Amino acid sequence: MKNRYNVEIRIENEYFFNIESSESIVSKVVTFSLVDVDNLFYILSLGSTTDINSSVVDFETLTGNGDIFRVLNSVAWAVEDFLTKNPDAKIIFEGNIEKKTRVYVKLISRKLELVEKEYKLYGIIDGEVYPFEINQPYQAIVVSKKS
The answer to whether residues 128 and 86 belong to one domain is no
The answer to whether residues 33 and 81 belong to one domain is yes
3-state secondary structure of 109: helix
- Structural domain including 36 reads 1-93
* pTM, 2 dp: 0.87
Q: What is the pLDDT along the chain (147 residues), one digit of tens a residue?
A: 579 999 999 888 999 998 887 777 888 889 999 999 999 999 999 988 766 666 666 666 666 667 778 988 999 999 999 999 999 999 999 988 888 899 889 989 999 999 999 999 999 999 999 999 998 999 999 999 998
Last residue of a domain, one of 77, 93, 109: 93
Q: Would you tell me how many other CB atoms lie within 10 Å of the CB of residue 127?
A: 7
3-state secondary structure of 136: coil
- By the 10 Å C-beta count (0-12 exposed, 13-18 middle, 19+ buried), 43 is classed as middle
